[in-house]
């Protein structure tokens, strides 16, 4: 028996070493943690239970039978983060470059199945050179198995992908299906085709970092939601993200203890809107005042900056915020902003997270570039997502709400539960000047002083329409409120809506304009 116990101990030590001490040292030289070190920093101390430590690949071609490493390049199992169950897989670049084999894929699929059955989030720590070419179609089949399970898990459990090294070719599609992607600056990259192929086909000379690094995907493509300075920051972001989410689609996000101060007024909000309606301000200042202190976690911060999305807490409860950003492009909706907003709204709706919409939008961005790149379809994505959402939905119009963008930004007409407006709100088909030029075109053209007449008619239109009271008279705005009362109103409103139930028509699923 002692021999058998020793054999077990030896095998465990062998598996823990992965590709060996030299390759572990090489990993550290690149500024990267090992697969097991990442799990150590992610999970609560002592909570990790490994599954599949002794799995071996089955390939017998190209002398692969002589290269057997226990675990086969991925560490899988479960544990807790802040006491909550999660499942995790962590690819080991020290073993065949983290390449995916048939058995490597089977290990990942096994814990994906467990995560779905037991209703707990799945975290993928990706660091892989791609498909293991020695295995051919078996490796490709393994990727497809993972993609299918990612899709089946979508909307059932939260799925988070951290890219902590290479992620190329077919490997990118699993993270792309998951809910959130995090990347590490300078040590991770994602692309379908690498720099060498790009140069051969298109004659472009580009580095891996410029083609698919964290900065490229957080600022240009919008593929990644968070760009992190190092792996520890990335892991901390994962933990923070999880704190806003429920375990699964039938659960609600955890509430945190809220110490009521006795005074929820935020008088600074009375002065946040500039006197000049065309002057910008930072919508984050509004978010900071209405959310619990230091609770706002912005998502996609560096992409489509004319809209702000992220998680926050109001009175300890998790909410999702989608807000126009007047400080960038005047807060207009364009292709990227619409896609960014729609994706975030759908995540919140999947996982029972109430939605707060903050509106200051002059309309959709005009121009051939926008039209030719599908502003109609992309704008409809955001519209569809908000129409479809059945979670509590609350809207606050701070300033402009013009044209079709007023409808799209969670108006009463598309199912918002409560709509508030500040006295500074302007709810109209278009801006006063443009409206006056159309409505009073003849009078202006015939006037001796055209500029004076245009100003007169602009002021007339402003007085009549550029305010929240016509909408309030129709019930499209439930209440016009003082800015300083916004936080208190939201606390009470979300509390009132916490047991909201919506019965939707029976169907397989809708057909969102993708």
Supply the CATH number for residue 414's domain: 3.90.226.10
- pLDDT of the residue at 19: 85
Cα diameter, the chain: 108
What domain range includes position 90? 2-242
Q: Quick check: 112 pLDDT over 90?
A: yes
* Mean pLDDT score, 483-497: 97
Examine the fold and report which residue of 190, 208, 242 is the final residue of a domain before the chain moves on: 242
Active site residues: 169-170, 404-405
Q: Comparing 199-203, 251-255, 387-391, 430-434, which segment has the lowest mean pLDDT?
A: 430-434
Mean pLDDT of 277-291: 96
- Helices 283-290/486-496 angle, 10° precision: 60
CA 125 to chain centre: 17
Q: Is a pLDDT exceeding 80 seen at residue 239? A: yes
* Residue 370 parent element (H or E): helix 368-372
Question: What DSSP element (H or E) covers 87?
Answer: strand 84-91
State whether 290 and 315 are in the same domain: yes
Q: How far apart are CA 174 and CA 316, in angstroms?
A: 33
Between the ranges 56-65, 92-101, 370-379, 445-454, where is the mean pLDDT highest?
A: 370-379
User: Alpha carbon 185 to chain centroid distance?
Assistant: 18
Share of the chain above pLDDT 90, in %: 76
Q: Are residues 437 and 419 in the same domain?
A: no
Residues 443-475 as b/e (b if ≥16 CB within 10 A, e otherwise) read ebeeeeeeeebbebbbeebbeebbbbeebbeee
CA 255 to chain centre: 20
Please check whether residue 251 lies inside any domain of the structure: no
Give the residue with greater pLDDT, 179 vs 262: 179
Mean pLDDT within 485-499: 97
Beta bridge partners of 24: none
Count Cβ neighbours within 10 Å for each residue of 86-123 and write b for 16 or more, e otherwise.
bbbbbbbbbbbbbbbbbbbbbbbbbbbebbbeeebbbb
Angle at 170 between CA 168 and CA 174, to 5 degrees: 95
- Helix H or strand E segment including 347: helix 335-350
Calculate what percentage of the chain has a pLDDT beyond 70: 100
Q: What is the average per-residue pLDDT within 403-427?
A: 96
Question: What is the average pLDDT score of the chain?
Answer: 93
Residues 134 and 222 in one domain: yes
Q: What is the pLDDT of residues 434-458, one digit of tens each?
A: 787 888 887 787 777 878 877 877 7
Could you tell me if 322 and 180 lie in one domain? no
Query: pLDDT category, 288, cuts 50, 70, 90?
Result: very high
The backbone region for 52, taken as left when phi is positive above 0, alpha when psi lies in -120 to 50, beta otherwise, is: left
Question: Mean pLDDT, to the nearest integer, of 103-120?
Answer: 97
Query: Are 368 and 228 in the same domain?
Result: no
10 Å Cβ neighbour count for 301? 17
Assign 494 a pLDDT band (cuts: 50, 70, 90). Answer: very high
Q: How confident is the model at residue 211 (pLDDT cuts 50, 70, 90)?
A: very high
For the entire predicted model, the pTM comes to 0.94
Is residue 506 assigned to a domain? no
Is the same domain home to 356 and 438? no
**Residue 26 burial by CB count (10 A; 0-12/13-18/19+): exposed, middle or buried?**
middle
Residue 399: closest CA among 455, 332, 466: 466
Residue 465, pLDDT score: 77
pLDDT band at 273 (very low <50, low <70, confident <90, very high): very high
If asked whether residues 32 and 123 sit together in one domain, one would say yes
Q: What is the mean pLDDT of residues 406-415?
A: 96
Give the H or E element holding residue 358: strand 355-361
Mean pLDDT value across residues 165-184: 93
Do 423 and 274 lie in a common domain?
A: yes
**Same structural domain for residues 422 and 437?**
no
Looking at the fold, whether 411 and 444 belong to one and the same domain comes out as no
Instruction: Over range 269-280, report the average pLDDT.
Output: 94
Query: Rounded to whole angstroms, how far apart are CA atoms 59 and 80?
Result: 34
- 261 assigned to some structural domain: no
Q: Say if residues 266 and 486 touch (Cβ distance below 8 Å).
A: yes
Q: Please tell me the predicted confidence (pLDDT) of residue 443.
A: 79
Q: Is the pLDDT of residue 65 over 90?
A: no
Residues 417 and 282 in one domain: yes
Task: Note the pLDDT of residue 241.
Answer: 98
Least confident of 135-139, 174-178, 348-352: 135-139
In DSSP terms, 307 is beta-bridged to: 324
Q: Is residue 258 part of a domain?
A: no
- Alpha-helical runs (H) found in 178-247: 195-202, 208-212, 214-216, 231-242
In a domain, residue 253? The reply is no
pLDDT at 44: 98
Q: Rounded CA gap, 512 and 321, in Å? A: 21
Cβ 59 vs Cβ 101: under 8 Å: yes
Q: Is 364 a domain residue?
A: yes
Q: How far apart are CA 223 and CA 126, in angstroms?
A: 15
- pLDDT exceeds 90 at position 302: yes
Cα 197 off chain centre by = 30
Q: What are the tens digits of pLDDT across the range 343-355?
A: 999 999 999 999 9
- Total domains present in the chain: 3
Q: How confident is the model at residue 115 (pLDDT cuts 50, 70, 90)?
A: very high
* Residues whose CB is less than 8 angstroms from the CB of residue 79 and which lie 6 or more positions away in sequence, other chains included: 39, 42, 43, 44, 47, 48, 49, 85, 86, 88
The mean-pLDDT minimum among 134-138, 309-313, 341-345 falls in 134-138
Model pLDDT for residues 451-478, shown as the tens digit of each residue:
887 787 777 787 777 889 999 999 999 9
Q: Do 16 and 154 sit in the same domain of this protein?
A: yes
């Amino acid at each position: 028996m002692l021999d058998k116990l020793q054999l077990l101990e030896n095998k465990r030590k062998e598996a823990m070493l992965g590709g060996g001490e030299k390759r572990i040292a090489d990993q550290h030289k690149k500024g990267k943690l090992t697969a097991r070190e990442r799990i150590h920093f992610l999970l609560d101390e002592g909570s990790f239970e490994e599954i599949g430590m002794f799995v071996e690949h089955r390939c017998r071609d190209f002398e692969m039978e002589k290269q057997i490493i226990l675990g086969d390049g991925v560490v899988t199992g479960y544990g807790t983060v802040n006491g909550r169950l999660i499942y995790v897989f962590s690819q080991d670049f020290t073993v065949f470059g983290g390449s995916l084999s048939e058995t490597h894929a089977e290990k990942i699929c096994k814990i994906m199945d467990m995560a779905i059955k037991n209703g707990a989030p799945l975290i993928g720590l990706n660091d892989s050179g791609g498909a293991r070419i020695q295995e051919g179609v078996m490796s490709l089949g393994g990727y497809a198995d993972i993609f299918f399970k990612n899709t089946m898990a979508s909307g059932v459990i939260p799925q988070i992908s951290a890219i902590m090294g290479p992620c190329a070719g077919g490997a990118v599609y699993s993270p792309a299906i998951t809910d959130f992607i995090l990347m590490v600056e300078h040590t991770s990259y994602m692309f379908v085709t690498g720099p060498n192929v790009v140069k051969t086909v298109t004659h472009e000379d580009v580095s891996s970092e410029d083609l698919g690094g964290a900065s490229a995907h957080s600022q240009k493509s919008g593929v990644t939601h968070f760009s992190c300075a190092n792996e520890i920051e990335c892991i901390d972001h994962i933990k923070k993200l999880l704190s806003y989410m429920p375990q699964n689609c039938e659960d609600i996000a955890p509430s945190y203890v809220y110490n009521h101060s006795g005074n929820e007024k935020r008088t600074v909000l009375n002065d946040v809107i500039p006197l000049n309606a065309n002057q910008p301000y930072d919508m984050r200042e509004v978010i900071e005042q209405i959310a619990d202190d230091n609770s706002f976690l912005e998502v996609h911060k560096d992409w489509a900056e004319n809209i702000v999305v992220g998680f926050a807490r109001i009175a300890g409860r998790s909410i999702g915020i989608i807000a126009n950003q007047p400080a960038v492009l005047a807060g207009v909706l364009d292709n990227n902003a619409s896609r960014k907003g729609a994706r975030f709204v759908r995540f919140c709706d999947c996982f029972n997270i109430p939605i707060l919409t903050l509106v200051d939008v002059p309309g959709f961005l005009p121009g051939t570039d926008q039209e030719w790149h599908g502003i109609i379809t992309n704008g409809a994505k955001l519209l569809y997502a908000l129409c479809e959402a059945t979670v509590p939905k609350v809207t606050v119009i701070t300033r402009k709400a013009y044209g079709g963008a007023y409808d799209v930004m969670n108006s009463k007409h598309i199912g918002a539960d409560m709509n508030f407006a500040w006295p500074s709100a302007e709810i109209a088909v278009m801006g006063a000047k443009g409206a006056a030029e159309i409505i009073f075109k003849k009078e202006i053209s015939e006037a001796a002083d055209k500029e004076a007449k245009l100003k007169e008619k602009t002021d007339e239109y402003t007085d009549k329409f550029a305010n929240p009271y016509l909408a309030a008279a129709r019930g499209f705005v439930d209440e016009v409120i003082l800015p300083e009362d916004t936080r208190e109103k939201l606390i009470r409103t979300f509390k009132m809506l916490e047991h909201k139930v919506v019965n939707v028509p029976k169907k397989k699923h809708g057909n969102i304009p993708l």
